[in-house]
C-alpha cells in the first residue's frame, strides 16, 4: 500500500504526517487498510454475505459497505440506535445498499447473533467483521503499516522519535506496537484517545497485542509490552463525537495552512491532543510522525457545523 509520508510542520519539532487518508479506495483511511485483509479472507473462503457492527456515521461501515457492494455480497450493519444521525457516511452506506439493522446498544450482541443465525438458516455463508475492523487481521494491517514507516526511514535516512495517532478501538495502535516490538524499535507510540478512558482503552489494546503475538507464537516479557502502550485519555473533550473550540481551530488551521482535511471525531481531536501533549511534556527537537487515519467524509460534516 505504502501511503505517502511528508513534512507538515516545522517548529520546535519536525512533524511529519503519514497519509492513510489517501489510500485509494472510498476516501481511504485505516478502515480500508484493515478491510483489505478481511475481504481477502472473504474472497478465498466462499462467503456470500457480510455482517458487521458500526454506527451509521462510521468510516468502518462505509468501507465495508463499499467493498461488499463491489463484490455483489449482501451487507448487514448492526447499528446502535443511540446517536443515530445522518451524516455523509450514512448517505454513502445507503448508496452501497447496505442494510442497517438498528438496535439498542445493549441488544447489539444478540442482534448480531440473530442475523448470523437467520442467514445460515437461509443457506447462506456469512462472514462476520467486528466493529472497527477489530481482531488479529486488523492488528496485522498496522504491523504492515509499521514496516512501511521503517522502510521510509531507511530510504530517507530519518529516524522518528514519536508516532502519534487517534486511538478508538485501539486496533491500529495495537498493530503499530506489535510492529515496534517485532522490530525492536525504540520509538514511542502515543495513542490519543478519542473516547475511551485509560483503563478500558489500555486493557483492550493490551489484549489485542497479546492475541496477535500468541497467534504468531511469539513471546515478549509482559513488562515490555506494558511499557510500549502509551494511551492518553486527557483530550477526549467529553467523549465520542464531542469536540471543543481548540479542535475546531486546529482543523481550520491545518486546512488553511497545509491543505490537509481533519475531522472532529478522530484526526482533529488527536492532532489537537498531540500538540497539547508535546507542550505539556516539553518535547523539543524531535522528529514526530502523525498518522492521518482518514475519515474524509467526516471532514465535510465539519463544514456543515
Ligand atoms: C476508526 C478510526 C480511528 C481509530 O482506529 P482504531 O483502530 O479503532 O483505534 C482513527 N481515525 C479514524 C479516521 C477512524 O475512522
In the predicted model, residues of the chain with pLDDT beneath 70 are: none
| pLDDT score recorded for residue 1 | 86
How many Å apart are CA 90 and CA 297, to the nearest integer?
10
Query: Ligand 1: distance of its center to the CA of 293 in Å?
Result: 6
| pLDDT score recorded for residue 138 | 98
Query: Ligand 1: distance of its center to the CA of 107 in Å?
Result: 23
Tell me the C-alpha to C-alpha distance, in Å, between residue 45 and each of 7, 39, 42, 140: 41, 9, 5, 19
DSSP one-letter string for 141-189: HHHHHHHHHHHHHHHHT---SEEEEEESSSHHHHHHHHHHHHTT---EE
Query: Ligand 1: distance of its center to the CA of 295 in Å?
Result: 8
The helix or strand, by DSSP H or E, that contains position 118, with its residue range, turns out to be helix 108-121
Q: Distance of alpha carbon 219 from its chain centroid, rounded? A: 25
Please tell me whether the overall predicted TM-score, pTM, comes out greater than 0.85 for this model. yes
Exposure b/e, 236-246, CB count within 10 A at least 16 = b:
bbeebbebeeb
| pLDDT score recorded for residue 151 | 98
Tell whether ligand 1 has an atom less than 6 A from the beta carbon of residue 54. Answer: no
What are the φ/ψ torsions at residue 102 (nearest 5 degrees)?
-90, 130
Assigned C-alpha cell, 291: 498518522
Contact (CB, 8 A) for 88 and 302 = no
Tell whether ligand 1 has an atom less than 6 A from the beta carbon of residue 293. Answer: yes
Q: Which atom in ligand 1 lies closest to the alpha carbon of residue 175?
A: 7
| pLDDT score recorded for residue 84 | 81
| pLDDT tens digit sequence for 279-302 | 999 999 999 999 999 999 999 999
Closest CA to 38 of 147, 174, 148, 130: 130
Closest CA to 194 of 241, 160, 157, 228: 241
DSSP one-letter string for 71-94: TT-EEEEEEESTT----HHHHHHH
Query: Ligand 1: distance of its center to the CA of 265 in Å?
Result: 9
Strand partners, 79: 102
| pLDDT score recorded for residue 31 | 98
Residue ranges of the alpha helices (H) in 217-295?
Answer: 222-228, 245-258, 267-280
Tell whether ligand 1 has an atom less than 6 A from the beta carbon of residue 126. Answer: no
Amino acid at each position: 500500500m505504502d501511503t505517502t509520508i511528508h513534512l507538515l510542520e516545522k517548529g520546535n519539532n519536525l512533524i511529519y504526517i503519514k497519509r492513510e487518508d489517501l489510500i485509494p479506495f472510498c476516501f481511504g483511511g485505516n478502515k480500508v487498510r484493515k478491510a483489505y485483509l478481511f475481504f481477502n479472507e472473504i474472497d478465498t473462503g466462499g462467503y456470500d454475505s457480510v455482517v458487521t457492527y458500526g454506527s451509521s456515521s462510521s468510516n468502518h461501515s462505509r468501507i465495508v459497505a463499499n467493498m461488499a457492494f463491489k463484490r455483489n455480497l449482501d451487507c448487514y450493519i448492526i447499528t446502535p440506535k443511540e446517536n443515530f444521525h445522518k451524516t455523509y457516511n450514512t448517505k454513502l452506506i445507503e448508496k452501497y445498499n447496505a442494510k442497517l439493522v438498528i438496535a439498542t446498544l445493549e441488544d447489539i450482541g444478540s442482534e448480531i447473533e440473530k442475523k448470523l443465525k437467520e442467514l445460515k438458516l437461509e443457506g447462506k455463508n456469512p462472514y462476520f467483521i467486528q466493529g472497527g475492523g477489530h481482531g488479529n487481521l486488523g492488528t496485522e494491517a498496522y504491523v504492515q503499516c509499521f514496516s512501511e514507516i521503517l522502510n521510509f526511514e531507511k530510504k530517507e535516512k530519518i529516524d522518528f522519535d514519536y508516532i502519534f495517532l487517534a486511538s478508538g478501538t485501539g486496533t491500529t495502535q495495537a498493530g503499530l506496537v506489535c510492529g515496534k516490538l517485532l522490530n525492536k524499535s525504540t520509538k514511542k507510540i502515543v495513542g490519543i484517545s478519542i473516547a475511551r478512558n485509560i483503563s478500558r482503552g489500555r486493557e483492550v489494546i493490551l489484549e489485542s497485542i497479546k492475541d496477535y503475538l500468541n497467534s504468531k507464537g511469539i513471546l515478549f516479557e509482559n513488562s515490555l509490552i506494558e511499557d510500549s502502550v502509551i494511551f492518553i485519555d486527557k483530550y477526549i473533550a467529553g467523549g465520542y463525537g464531542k469536540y471543543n473550540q481548540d479542535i475546531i481551530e486546529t482543523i481550520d488551521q491545518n486546512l488553511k495552512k497545509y491543505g490537509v482535511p481533519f475531522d472532529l471525531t478522530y484526526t482533529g481531536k488527536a492532532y489537537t491532543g498531540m500538540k497539547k501533549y508535546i507542550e505539556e511534556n516539553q518535547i523539543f527537537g524531535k522528529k514526530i510522525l502523525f498518522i492521518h487515519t482518514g475519515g474524509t467524509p467526516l471532514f465535510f460534516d465539519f463544514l456543515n457545523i
